[in-house]
Amino acid sequence: MGDLWYNYCIIILWGAIMGNNDVLDRMPERRIKKLDRLFEAFSIVAEGTYVYICDMRYDVSRWSASAVITFGLPSEYMYAAGEIWEEKIHPDDRETYHKGIEEIFSGTSLGHDMQYRAKNIEGNYDVCTCRGTVLLDDNDNPDYFVGVIRNQGIHSHVDALTGLRNQYGMMEDLQYNISNQTEMLFTMVGISHFSEYNEVYGYHFGNKILQNFARYIYDFVGNTGSVYRLDGTKFAIISKSGSAELVKQNYEKIRNHFRKGFKVEDKDIILDLNAGFLFINNFSIDYQTVYSCANFAYSESKQRKQGDMVFFANDLTDDNRFRLEKFHAIRGSIMQNFEGFFLVYQPVVDSNTEKLIGAEALLRWKNDKYGLVPPDEFIPLLEKDPLFPELGEWILKRALRDAKEIIKKYPDFVINVNLSYTQLEKPDFVEMVIRSIEEYDFPTNHLCLEITERCRLLNLELLKNVVVNLRGHGVQIALDDFGTGFSSVGIVKNLPFDTIKIDRSFVMRIEEDDKEKELIEHFVNLAATFGARVCVEGIETEGMKRILKNYPVKSFQGYYYAKPLILEDFLKWRS
């Protein structure tokens, strides 16, 4: 796979636990067990390939987890997998593949041996060699279709640089342990500011540092666990025994070792580390959820804790296991046609007339088991999840659809939609926005996309290209959370914004704090310098509104006017 795959970390799919239930309900338990036994037997002797086993009576298949990850398949277990896989095959190769599968299932052929191109999760085509054969039952009727697919670009689960198992192997091991209900401790550890070594000494030298780091971690862990090389400078450790306290102590020993420094080609090297940790003793989740939660904890260590180890949810109580299940269910909803997700809309009013001029679309999730889950419980996790762009596209399309209804009643209405950095870094993001606008025949100047504080993780030039391109199509751009960590004079100076939204934290005490009045005046003048309008969020009282009317603020948003409303209530608001 190419570098782009590493930039996206690892695709998060709906997989082996929740997604399998509907598929496996088609089969008797004895057939499920036999399917699994065949799969495990073939997997042992087919290292470096993707194994697939199809129960031809029920057309239910089990595929290697690495194939699911690489090609973005729905699950390890699939109904009508031949049709699903055919969609991945290059159009020029599809007819030959289709004919081969048709001959297998019609009984005119007992095997195939073919080569074709299959589209991976990046959108690129990998050359694959596929060989399969039909197993007959005692009456010589087709019973199982078994085979292997060799991806010519990926020959094994071993990282060529370090000799460790790679992230494909890690995902398979995670899922194997979960399937067998084996408790484990999952640690993600990585190096900060590593690019500086590459820039100063070159990539060859940087590779030697990574090899040295990998060897030390491998020796340190020994036979107490397994070590894996993930994307870039991140590694993972899976241990089947120990405690959270022991994991933390071991991390501090590793951290201190690399803080003291070591030599590579007579050069003294000091490394800063980050780490996230997750304890898995709940098996109603899948490996994608484990990876996503560990990655979230790792990001918190890197961005907020100066490299101190972060435990996902900080302890191992029943509540936190419940939290894992809940997040697993929320992620699964994305692959279940976004079941449980819905949007609410908070009005934005003109500061002078107090008439409705827009609204901010806000995401919510609810189901029978967990009730309404507050967005701050799952959005920070999902935003670090490569599955989020798919949800982000759904949010945009749903907001455009609803906004068309609102515009019928309020012709000047503008809908605001928040963006995540995982959306913005996708190469086809702008195309997706324009495609969505065209799909709903939506007037572009009635859409405002909000860049949030978390987008600080993106390269400024990338952000600028996206902003300029979208504005060129008539889409408005707002800077959200102005005044917080990401929002700075430098950002406003370098990026053209139509609106700057002042964070509610700067007006909460404006009725009694003169400093907040001075800040608002400063922010408004700064926005005016760069030709941007100002929207103030968090308006909650008559007094706040009255004070802010003294400043050249364009619009207000807050509970004083309305809480976020479902579309039906929004259309009735102030009717």
Q: For the segment 487-510, what is each residue's pLDDT rounded down to a tens digit?
A: 566 677 778 889 989 888 888 888
Give the tokens for residue 37.
């036994």
Lowest mean pLDDT among 233-242, 274-283, 382-391: 382-391
Position 17 confidence tier, pLDDT thresholds 50, 70, 90? very low
State the burial class of residue 211 (Cβ atoms within 10 Å of its Cβ: 0-12, 13-18, 19+): middle
What pTM value is reported for the model? 0.59
* Parallel/antiparallel/unpaired status of strands 77-79 and 60-63: antiparallel
Question: What would the mean pLDDT of 37-57 be, rounded to a whole number?
Answer: 84
**pLDDT score of 575:** 55
540 close to 338: Cβ distance less than 8 angstroms: no
Q: Three-state DSSP class for 37?
A: helix
Give the whole-angstrom CA distance, residue 555 versus residue 88: 48
What value does the mean pLDDT take over residues 407-431? 90
Distance of CA 234 to the CA centre of its chain: 17
The residue among 416, 539, 557 whose CA lies nearest residue 475 is: 416
Rounded CA separation 4/51 (Å): 25
**If you average pLDDT over every residue of the chain, what do you get?**
84
At 226-261, the pLDDT tens digits run: 999 998 899 999 998 888 889 999 999 999 999 888
| Segment 177-202, tens digit of pLDDT | 888 888 899 999 999 888 888 888 88
Q: Residue 8 — very low, low, confident or very high, per pLDDT cuts 50/70/90?
A: very low
pLDDT on residue 473: 93
Radius of gyration (Cα) for the chain, nearest Å?
27
Mean pLDDT (whole number) for 44-70: 86
pLDDT-based confidence at residue 100 (cuts at 50, 70, 90): confident
Do residues 50 and 148 touch, judged by C-beta distance below 8 A? yes
* Closest of 571, 565, 573, 568 to residue 361, by C-alpha: 565
Q: What residue has token string 């606008």?
A: 437
Task: Answer yes or no: is pLDDT of 472 > 60.
Answer: yes
Copy the structure tokens of residue 196.
């500086």
Which band of pLDDT confidence, cut at 50, 70 and 90, is reported for residue 457? low
Burial of 316 (0-12, 13-18, 19+ CB in 10 A): middle
Cross-strand partners of 449: 417, 477
Residue 125: in which H helix or E strand, if any? strand 125-136
3-state SS, 318-337, equals HHHHHHHHHHHHHHHHHCCC
Question: 301-309, long-range: CB within 8 Å, 24+ apart, which pairs?
Answer: 301/274, 301/275, 301/276, 302/190, 302/192, 302/274, 307/192, 307/255, 307/272, 307/273, 307/274, 307/275, 309/247, 309/248, 309/251, 309/252, 309/275, 309/276, 309/277
Residues 6 or more apart whose Cβ sits within 8 Å of residue 331: 12, 14, 288, 289, 292, 382, 385, 387
Nearest Cα residue to 285 out of 180, 171, 178: 178
CA separation for the pair 194, 210 (Å, rounded): 9
